[in-house]
Amino acid sequence: MNPTARRIATGVLMALAVVTGIAAWLLRPQPVDDAFIGPMRSDYTLGNYSLVALDETGKEQFSVTGPQLDRDPLTETFTLDKPFFSFPQSAGGEWEARSEDAWISADGGEVRLTRDVEVLGAARPDRSRMRIESEQMTVFPRDDLATSETLVTITDRGSTMTGRGMRADLAARRVNLLAQTRTRYVPPRR
């Protein structure tokens, strides 16, 4: 093959190679966009509901009412909007709790309250009640236990206690503020 023909053949081959490369690049398998996986579709949603959770012995653990409750079919857990909880106390009376959002575990053994959490202790004979406020709190109804990892404010009669992190035994009204605590006590005016 004379040199001119060879150069033409080489050029054609190179052109073919380039075209093939471009075609291969264009026809490469497109990455599949992560299909938007939104929140699991509830298997049911209740509006203006009232729910009572019982323990294995049939005793009431807590009751809750609110505008909306969604159940996750996979985990069998519940998410609630603006719930109002009532936790009966063995010593009588009940604690009440409200928040913007809440989550309840499948067995009802754990209740997570988030955003504008307010808990009111059982009313005393003089009708006064301890109030606990925080942005996050977890209640374990069976153990009468409440915990928080964030800033907590406890108001009770003349005293105000603040601290970061809390463990509270609701039945014994025993509260432990874990760090950076401040108690302000207003003495009765003499």
Partner 1 sequence: RSSDREQDMIIDAASTEGELTDNGTVTFSGDVRMDQGTLRVRADDAVGTLRDGEIVRVVLTGAPARLQQEDDQGQPMDARAARIDYDLATDTAVLTGDVEIEQPRGNLRGERVVYDIATGRVRAGQEGGRVRMVIQPKSGQDS
Question: Nearest-CA neighbor of 77 among 36, 43, 47?
Answer: 43
- Residue 162 CB, nearest approach to partner 1 (Å): 9
- Residue 177 CB, nearest approach to partner 1 (Å): 5
- Residue 184 CB, nearest approach to partner 1 (Å): 5
Question: Nearest-CA neighbor of 103 among 59, 155, 39?
Answer: 39
Site residues (vs partner 1, CB under 8 A) = 121, 124, 128, 130, 154, 156-159, 161, 163, 172-190
- Residue 55 CB, nearest approach to partner 1 (Å): 26
Name which of 69 and 168 has its Cβ closer to partner 1. 168
* Residue keyed to tokens 């009966």: 88
Name which of 75 and 176 has its Cβ closer to partner 1. 176
Side chain identity, residue 71: R
N- to C-terminal Cα distance for the chain?
A: 120
Name which of 28 and 189 has its Cβ closer to partner 1. 189
Burial class (CB in 10 A: 0-12, 13-18, 19+), 40: middle
Name which of 139 and 177 has its Cβ closer to partner 1. 177
